[in-house]
Amino acid sequence: MSRILGPGPYKTLTTHDGIDVPFYIVRFDKKGLLQSPETAKEIISRAHEFSDVFFFSHGWNNDWTCANKRYQDFFDEYSKLRQAHDLAMPAGYKPMMVGVFWPSTALVFGKSERGPDFMDMDPPEADDDYPEDRFLQDLAEVADILEEEDRSALYSLAQTNGLGRQQALQLAELMTKVVSDSEGEIDHVETVAPQALLDSWIEASESGAGSPGHGGAQIKDTRIQDGFFKVLDPRRIIRLLTVAIMKDRAGVVGHAGVGGVLQQLLDNSAARIHLVGHSYGAKVMLSALKSTQPHSRKVHSALLLQPAISHLAFADRLPGKSGQGGYHGLQERVHAPILSTFSSHDFALHTLFHHALRRKADLGETKIDALARDPSPSPYAALGGYGPRHSGEQLIPIKTAPDPYALDGNNRIYGLNGSDGKKIGGHGDIINPYTSWALHSLVRYGMQQS
Quote the mean pLDDT of the chain.
81
Q: What pLDDT, in 10s, does the model give residues 100-137?
A: 999 887 544 444 333 323 333 333 333 456 788 888 88
Let me know how long the chain is: 450
Q: In terms of domains, do 311 and 171 share one? A: no
Q: 11 pLDDT band (50/70/90 cuts)?
A: very high
130-144, 259-273, 301-315: range with highest mean pLDDT: 259-273
Phi, psi of 15 (to 5 degrees): -75, 170
The tally of CA atoms less than 13 A away on the side-chain side of residue 47 is: 24
Phi, psi of 178 (to 5 degrees): -85, -35
Tally of structural domains, the chain = 2
DSSP, res 181: P
Inside any domain, residue 1: no
Q: In terms of domains, do 303 and 407 share one? A: yes
Spell 54-93 as b/e; 16+ CB within 10 A means b. Answer: bbbbbbbbbbeebbbebbbebbebbbebbeeeebebeeeb
Q: In terms of domains, do 153 and 165 share one? A: yes
Which residues make beta-bridge pairs with 305? 278
Q: What is the mean pLDDT of residues 389-404?
A: 93
Q: In terms of domains, do 282 and 429 share one? A: yes
Inside any domain, residue 423: yes
Residues above pLDDT 90, as percent of the chain: 50
More reliable by pLDDT, 195 or 292 = 292
Q: What pLDDT, in 10s, does the model give residues 38-57?
A: 999 999 999 999 999 999 99
Closest CA to 418 of 368, 349, 337: 349
Residues above pLDDT 70, as percent of the chain: 77
Q: In terms of domains, do 365 and 416 share one? A: yes
Inside any domain, residue 118: yes
Inside any domain, residue 448: no
Q: In terms of domains, do 155 and 193 share one? A: yes
Inside any domain, residue 450: no
For residue 446, what pLDDT is reported? 84
Q: 11-20 long-range contacts, Cβ below 8 Å, gap at least 24?
A: 11/72, 13/72, 13/75, 13/97, 15/79, 15/82, 15/95, 16/79, 16/80, 16/82, 16/83, 17/82, 17/83, 19/93, 19/94, 19/95
Inside any domain, residue 4: no
**Domain boundary at 216, 243, 270, which?**
243
More reliable by pLDDT, 113 or 315 = 315
Q: What pLDDT, in 10s, does the model give residues 192-235?
A: 688 888 887 887 776 644 333 333 444 444 434 344 566 888 88
81, 175 contact by CB (below 8 A): no
Determine the structural domain holding residue 276 and report its residue range. Answer: 11-106+244-443
Q: 83 pLDDT band (50/70/90 cuts)?
A: very high
Q: In terms of domains, do 332 and 427 share one? A: yes
Q: In terms of domains, do 209 and 332 share one? A: no
Between 4-18, 400-414, 416-430, the lowest mean confidence (pLDDT) is in 4-18
Which residues make beta-bridge pairs with 231? 220
261, 26 contact by CB (below 8 A): yes
Instruction: Kindly give the pairing relationship between strand 219-224 and strand 95-101.
Output: unpaired
For residue 131, what pLDDT is reported? 80
Whether 1 has a pLDDT exceeding 70, the answer reads no
Tell me the residue type at 276: V
Inside any domain, residue 2: no
Q: In terms of domains, do 156 and 96 share one? A: no
427, 279 contact by CB (below 8 A): yes
Between 22-31, 65-74, 79-88, 116-125, the lowest mean confidence (pLDDT) is in 116-125
Q: 244 pLDDT band (50/70/90 cuts)?
A: confident
Between 339-353, 372-386, 389-403, the lowest mean confidence (pLDDT) is in 372-386
With a CB cutoff of 8 Å and minimum separation 6, the contacts of 156 are none
Tell me the residue type at 212: P
Q: In terms of domains, do 46 and 133 share one? A: no
Question: In a 3-state reduction of DSSP, which class is residue 221?
Answer: strand
Q: In terms of domains, do 127 and 153 share one? A: yes
Inside any domain, residue 313: yes
Cα dihedral 399, 392, 283, 295 in deg (nearest 10)? 110
**Domain boundary at 219, 243, 267, which?**
243
**Domain boundary at 199, 215, 243, which?**
243
The overall longest dimension of the chain from CA atoms, in Å, is 76
More reliable by pLDDT, 407 or 321 = 407
99, 66 contact by CB (below 8 A): no
For residue 429, what pLDDT is reported? 93
How many CB atoms within 10 Å of residue 128? 9
Alpha helices per DSSP H over 321-376 = 353-356
More reliable by pLDDT, 200 or 29 = 29
For residue 73, what pLDDT is reported? 93
Tell me the residue type at 9: P
CATH number of the domain residue 69 falls in: 3.40.50
Q: In terms of domains, do 153 and 209 share one? A: yes
Q: What pLDDT, in 10s, does the model give residues 345-371?
A: 998 887 777 666 655 432 222 222 333
For residue 185, what pLDDT is reported? 53
With a CB cutoff of 8 Å and minimum separation 6, the contacts of 86 are none
